[in-house]
Amino acid sequence: MIIDLHTHSRPRSDDSDLDPGELVRLARQAGLDGVCLTEHDWHWDARDLAALSREMHFPVFSGMEISSDEGHLLVFGLGEYKFGMHHAAYVRELVDEVGGAIVLAHPYRRQVHYNPNPGELLDPLSENHIFDLVDAVEVLNGRSTDIENRFASDLGQRRGLRGAGGSDAHSSSDLPTCATEFEKTIRTIDELIHELKEGRFRAVDLRRCSG
């Protein structure tokens, strides 16, 4: 089962051009089996999300992309944004309380992008505390370059973390790009979290799959 774990829609993510219904339609059209709406520092109401899923006849799951002091976190299981969540350690505490999961999104993308020798960043950045706070690393991001994704993959391997994928969609051109393939069928957010914590998934680049 292939799910895009990282997407944004308007107006909840003000940098996105995608209407939620259009985003889901594009995901379904691309052959995805589900999509996660991970708005910036905001969580969908469960009833609104269920209504969208029924209307589109397509599995839609909710998460958040939290902008923390140590990186961007794709958080699954929390129902709201709370003051103090700009601290990654506090996010981990809250997620543990509800049995959720965290994926580190596009780690250090900006540093890699502006460094002519990104390899020299690998040793120091791989020691950062953030890797002790997450369950997986986004190693394929549709808006990252090949170099940035490869760097993320190297970081994950060094820390023994599984690699996930997501489009990071903000516009129609971002779908389909990258996603996560799960070994089992996912029907609920609890099942999604369980499979993330169990590590039964892999990142997939749908652009290469389609030739």
pLDDT single digits (tens) 106-150: 999 999 999 999 999 999 999 999 999 999 999 999 999 999 999
Give me the chain's average pLDDT, please: 96
- Please name the residue that has the structure tokens 């791989």: 126
Superfamily of structural domain 2-209: Metal-dependent hydrolases (3.20.20.140)
Residue 4 pLDDT exceeds 90: yes
The dihedral formed by the CA atoms of 69, 87, 154 and 157, expressed in degrees to the nearest 10: 170
pLDDT digits (tens, 9 = 90+) for 6-59: 999 999 999 999 999 999 999 999 999 999 999 999 999 999 999 999 999 999
In terms of Cβ atoms closer than 10 Å to its own Cβ (0-12, 13-18, 19+), residue 56 is: middle
What number of residues does the chain have? Answer: 211
pLDDT at 52: 97
The residue type of 113 is H
As a whole number, mean pLDDT of residues 56-63 equals 97
pLDDT at 208: 78
Cβ atoms of residues 38 and 63 within 8 Å: yes
The dihedral formed by the CA atoms of 12, 195, 34 and 61, expressed in degrees to the nearest 10: -30
Q: Read off the pTM.
A: 0.96
Per-residue pLDDT band for 211 (boundaries 50, 70, 90) equals very low
What are the start-end ranges of the H helices in the chain? 20-29, 46-56, 88-98, 109-113, 122-126, 146-159, 189-198, 206-209
Give the H/E segment covering residue 106: none
List the structure tokens of 76: 């699954």
Neighbours of 12 (CB within 10 A): 17
pLDDT digits (tens, 9 = 90+) for 145-155: 999 999 999 99
pLDDT at 209: 64
pLDDT digits (tens, 9 = 90+) for 170-197: 999 999 999 999 999 999 999 999 999 9
pLDDT at 39: 97
